[in-house]
């Protein structure tokens, strides 16, 4: 166990629950630590169900192409805890991270606080240690009571597409979930909304009106679409003819448009050159990503291996659409290597692949102390998939699953269903995020 893992183990014992949405504990520790959240560079705060990470990745790539120094806080990580903290473009060093966590652990003095709350204080403290121009801050869960929502006056707020997820914490309707996400908006801070379902947009717009905000709305004030092999961004200020983003899938066009809209609406004024460079160089692992590395050796020659960390119904739908688009270019038998946490809508996720997946091989989600709960067993997943009409078999490791893929010519294989699974796969493949 590394020193970082030892510290994490101690910090996770400070509260009996992994999630306990409130702000009192983090506000207490922030006050004891000198309120680092009040001394940050301008903060762009991002909430939503899907696309938060990709939208942040686009903003970071464009801002860095402008020569800006950018701090980023995301969750969860894929392969290493360090991925949650990017300081002026670089992942935090183990030395700096360990020192900051241990110092805040001493300040906290054993008082109850959830791990994510303490992690968020760590992020704010780290962001005061290194100079930067912008902070890109991703909510962990929801928004209104999320630990990141202690930032009193963000530079701007962004709300990506909202759908059903985490119903045990946020509510079981789109309206209830949208209400929680809308909680990051603050009077005096501009807001950008990605395209939303009608019921979610109504909640967001009502909250914006209460705060005196005129939001910049996807599909109304800005849009992005593919045209003749290019990406066209258009808003009330004009049109930009740009390269197709480096991230795959039609939904990434919407995320790219939301990112550009935010930077323009918030007055950061990205140049055409910076937008072009950012779109060409953006990276965001495990989001419908081709996988090259150690694991390819277990598949038939000329096979394709893909990785996607989406874990809710909307995530499944966009992955399925991307795979359908691939089929139009080159049709191959599709096998899903699937691992999911037990609290997810497994049936809803699988329904997106009806008529598309030839076979499903189920695998365990690796044990991860930071996961919200245990993964569904491979046998249980396979049974559920079989009940829905899929040809499904369990396997007990990624390698076993890949070895079980048909040898009848080149195959298309997608490992999917969980970010925790995706992170473990990147480690096995020897291609963790850098």
Q: What is the pLDDT of residue 82?
A: 95
The domain 289-428 belongs to what CATH superfamily? Mur ligase, C-terminal domain (3.90.190.20)
Ordered by start, the domain boundaries in the chain are: 3-281, 289-428
Distance CA 104, CA 32 (A): 9
Residue 426 has pLDDT above 90, yes or no: yes
Once rounded to an integer, what is the mean pLDDT over residues 360-385? 80
Q: What is the mean pLDDT of residues 114-143?
A: 96
pLDDT level of residue 22 (50, 70, 90 thresholds): confident
What pLDDT, on a 0 to 100 scale, did the predictor assign at position 21?
Answer: 78
- The pLDDT of residue 142: 86
- State the pLDDT at residue 238: 93
How much is the mean pLDDT over the chain?
Answer: 93
367, pLDDT greater than 90: no
pLDDT digits (tens, 9 = 90+) for 154-198: 999 999 999 866 555 565 689 999 999 999 999 999 999 999 999
Question: What is residue 223's predicted lDDT score, i.e. its pLDDT?
Answer: 97
pLDDT for 287 = 87
Chain segment 31-53, per-residue pLDDT in tens: 999 999 999 999 999 999 989 99
Structure tokens at 26: 């983090």
What CA–CA distances, in Å, run from 257 to 196, 239, 261, 425? Answer: 14, 11, 6, 30
pLDDT in the model for residue 373: 54
- Topology (CATH level 3) of domain 3-281: 3.40.1190
Q: Are 4 and 95 in contact (CB under 8 A)?
A: no
Instruction: Summarize the confidence of residues 323-348 as an average pLDDT.
Output: 91
- Cis peptide bond N-terminal to 36, omega within 30: no
HSE-up of residue 288 (Cα within 13 Å, Cβ side): 22
- Tell me what pLDDT residue 395 has: 97
Check residue 369 and give its pLDDT. Answer: 53
Of the pLDDT bands very low, low, confident and very high (cuts 50, 70, 90), residue 76 is: confident
Count Cβ atoms within 10 A of the Cβ of residue 19 and give its class: 0-12 exposed, 13-18 middle, 19 or more buried: middle
| Statement: residue 372 has pLDDT above 60 | no
Residue 375: band (very low, low, confident or very high) from pLDDT cuts 50, 70, 90: low
pLDDT, residue 166, reads 56
């Amino acid at each position: 166990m590394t020193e970082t893992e030892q510290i994490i183990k101690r910090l996770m014992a400070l509260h009996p629950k992994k999630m306990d949405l409130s702000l009192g504990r983090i506000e207490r520790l922030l006050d004891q630590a000198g309120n680092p959240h009040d001394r940050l560079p301008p903060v762009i705060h991002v909430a939503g169900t899907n696309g938060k990470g990709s939208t942040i990745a686009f903003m970071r790539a464009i801002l860095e192409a402008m020569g800006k120094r950018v701090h980023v806080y995301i969750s969860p990580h894929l392969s290493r805890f360090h991925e949650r903290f990017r300081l002026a473009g670089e992942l935090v060093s183990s030395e700096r991270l360990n020192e900051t966590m241990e110092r805040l652990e001493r300040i906290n003095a054993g008082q109850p606080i959830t791990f994510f709350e303490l992690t968020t204080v760590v992020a704010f403290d780290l962001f005061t240690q290194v100079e930067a121009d912008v902070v890109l801050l991703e909510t962990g869960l929801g928004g209104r009571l999320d630990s990141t929502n202690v930032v009193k006056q963000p530079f701007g707020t962004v709300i990506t597409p909202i759908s059903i997820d985490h119903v045990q914490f946020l509510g079981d309707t789109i309206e209830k979930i949208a209400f929680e996400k809308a909680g990051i908006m603050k009077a005096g801070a501009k807001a950008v909304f990605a395209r939303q379902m009608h019921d979610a947009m109504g909640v967001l717009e009502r909250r914006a009106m209460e705060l005196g905000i005129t939001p910049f709305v996807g599909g109304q004030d800005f849009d992005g679409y593919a045209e003749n092999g290019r990406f066209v961004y258009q808003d009330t200020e004009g049109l930009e003819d740009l390269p197709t983003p480096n991230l795959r899938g039609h939904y990434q066009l919407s995320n790219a448009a939301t990112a550009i809209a935010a930077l323009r609406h918030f007055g950061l004024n990205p140049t055409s050159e910076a937008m072009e460079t950012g779109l060409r160089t953006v990276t965001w692992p495990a989001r419908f990503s081709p996988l090259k590395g150690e694991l390819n050796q277990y598949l038939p020659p000329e096979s394709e291996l893909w990785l996607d960390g989406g874990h809710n119904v909307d995530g499944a739908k966009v992955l399925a659409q991307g795979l359908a688009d691939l089929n139009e270019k080159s049709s191959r038998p599709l096998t899903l290597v699937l691992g999911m946490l037990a609290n997810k809508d497994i049936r809803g996720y699988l329904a997106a692949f009806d008529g598309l997946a030839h076979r499903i091989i189920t695998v365990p989600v690796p044990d991860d102390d930071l996961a919200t709960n245990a993964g569904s067993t491979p046998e249980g997943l396979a049974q559920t998939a079989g009940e829905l009409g899929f040809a499904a078999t369990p396997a007990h490791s990624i390698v076993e699953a890949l070895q079980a893929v048909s040898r009848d010519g080149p195959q298309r294989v997608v490992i999917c269903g969980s970010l925790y699974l995706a992170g473990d796969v990147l480690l096995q493949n020897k291609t963790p995020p850098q």
